[in-house]
């Protein structure tokens, strides 16, 4: 079982304001996937975070949590402009794919019906499956599934449905992943990667260790 752990420099669905300091602090952990949200810090800080993440040899991620259509498209423009590796979230697939055309940025939109902030996920198993098929056909690299934020369906059933729908695309699970049992269950259901942010920052992923570095190592251990 090999799962990619995407560490999000976020708490409560916003990028932490000291993200650059955090990157310096965790460099020794050797993470290969690091991301942040499109809210919490100004675009010039997002640009610098992206540059630092790539300097560390990691893949960079920007997740859209903006709720209006225009804000979401603006976040896609920022991702294209600063050279993000993978843009996560949003639902305006056709418009975003046009914005990203000609760039190296891969797009993983939200299947189902995301709503609210922090984001919850509405939508049935069938809807998530159909969205995943449609997104893959539209050229998306994969999907960003808010499985553990689901309000209408079982999280792992959603993962299995998304896996069928997305085929060989990237199935990333974001939001509310808090422990090693969930990571193992996600892997068994067919997920390729997952994000953890708040649970590492607040120390709840591995309650017996103190530092952020130790939290992140505990998450990496759970992937093996």
- pTM confidence score: 0.96
So what's the pLDDT on residue 146? Answer: 96
Are 204 and 178 in contact by the 8 Å Cβ rule? The answer is yes
So what's the pLDDT on residue 204? Answer: 95
The domain ranges of the chain are 4-223
CA–CA dist 51, 83 (Å, integer): 9
- CATH assignment of 4-223? 3.20.20.70
So what's the pLDDT on residue 67? Answer: 78
Rg (CA), the chain: 16
Query: Which stretches of the chain drop beneath a pLDDT of 50?
Result: 1
């Amino acid at each position: 079982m090999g799962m990619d752990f995407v560490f999000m420099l976020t708490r409560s669905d916003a990028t932490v304001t000291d993200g650059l300091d955090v990157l310096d602090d965790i460099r020794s952990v050797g993470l290969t996937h690091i991301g942040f949200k499109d809210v919490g810090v100004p675009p010039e800080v997002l640009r610098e975070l992206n540059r630092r993440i790539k300097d560390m040899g990691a893949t960079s991620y920007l997740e859209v949590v903006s709720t209006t259509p225009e804000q979401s498209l603006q976040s896609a423009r920022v991702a294209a402009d600063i050279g993000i590796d993978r843009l996560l979230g949003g639902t305006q697939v056709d418009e975003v794919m046009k914005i990203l055309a000609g760039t190296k940025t891969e797009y993983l939109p939200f299947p189902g019906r995301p709503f609210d902030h922090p984001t919850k996920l509405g939508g049935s198993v069938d809807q998530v499956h159909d969205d995943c098929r449609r997104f893959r056909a539209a050229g998306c690299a994969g999907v960003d599934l808010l499985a553990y934020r689901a309000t209408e369906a079982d999280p792992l059933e959603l993962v299995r449905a998304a896996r069928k729908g997305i085929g060989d695309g990237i199935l990333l699970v974001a939001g509310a992943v808090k422990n090693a049992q969930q990571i193992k269950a996600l892997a068994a259901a067919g997920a390729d990667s997952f994000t953890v942010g708040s649970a590492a920052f607040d120390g709840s992923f591995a309650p017996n260790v103190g530092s952020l570095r130790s939290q992140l190592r505990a998450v990496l251990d759970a992937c093996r």
